[in-house]
Amino acid sequence: MKRQRAFFHTLRLPRFRRITLPLLLLLVFTATSYSLVGRQTATVPLPGLVMIDAGHGGYDPGVMSNGILEKDITLAIAKQLQAALQARGIPTAMTRDSDIDYADSGTKGSSSKRSDLNKRLELTEIQQATVFVSLHINNSTLATRGGAEVFYSEQNEGTAELAAAVQSELHKIPQMSKRDAKPGKYYLLRNQEIPSLIVECGYLNIADERARLNTADYQKKLAEAIANGLDSWLQKNK
Ligand SMILES: [Zn+2]
């Protein structure tokens, strides 16, 4: 009995702890509630928000030619596009702003790719974006001419007009080979519920276009053209 009493005694909290423990719990609860509110307010939709997706990243370089990686060019253009849109007063968010990917650990091949793309879709949904733009670079030995090309999500109303607006701005870039906007069957486009574009900004296998794509000046021209197209469509579709 004596030993038992001593055992219970060690479990009994000193008087000051009996008071502070509920207080501590209250503080933890308050802090948790506050951070939840913070997270909710962070996802209040901003009208006209453009979600910019720099294609590939991290483990996935995308297409490559002469030591130039698609993931580096798309990130550079994405940053320029964000600056161009912000200069026009258009809110933006980015799926990535550094060399990362979202592939689930332990996955390989197509499972890695799928989990990476799903995260980009999820991030777009969290931001409650109005428009989604994914930036890519082409590389095809079959292509004999370069040029930026806009693909759009057919299932989302108004997207053909959005794609045409961006494509016509891209045509204004000097030396741009003229290509037409067209519907695309890409996973990212098929699974978006908002007007969504994939902009293939040019061809890495075309030597002079590859050289241009690797310059900040041309990346800016592409970004400004895409921003102009988005801006004009957003103005009309407020
Ligand atoms: Zn790509």
pLDDT tens for the chain, 238 residues: list them.
334 443 333 334 444 445 455 555 555 444 433 333 333 334 577 899 999 999 999 999 999 999 999 999 999 999 999 999 999 999 999 999 999 999 999 889 999 999 999 999 999 999 999 999 999 999 999 998 999 999 999 999 899 999 999 999 999 999 899 999 999 999 999 999 999 999 999 999 999 999 999 999 999 999 999 999 999 999 999 8
Q: Which residues contact 188 (CB under 8 A, 6 or more apart)?
A: 53, 117, 120, 121, 132, 134, 196, 198
Letter for the amino acid at 208?
D
Contact 181, 163 (CB under 8 A): yes
- CA–CA separation, 224 and 110 (whole Å): 33
Distance in Å, CA 120 to ligand 1 centroid: 14
Distance in Å, CA 136 to ligand 1 centroid: 4
Distance in Å, CA 92 to ligand 1 centroid: 21
Residues with CB under 5 A from ligand 1 (ion): 55, 62, 136
Contact 197, 130 (CB under 8 A): no
Distance in Å, CA 227 to ligand 1 centroid: 20
Distance in Å, CA 81 to ligand 1 centroid: 17
Distance in Å, CA 130 to ligand 1 centroid: 22
Distance in Å, CA 63 to ligand 1 centroid: 7
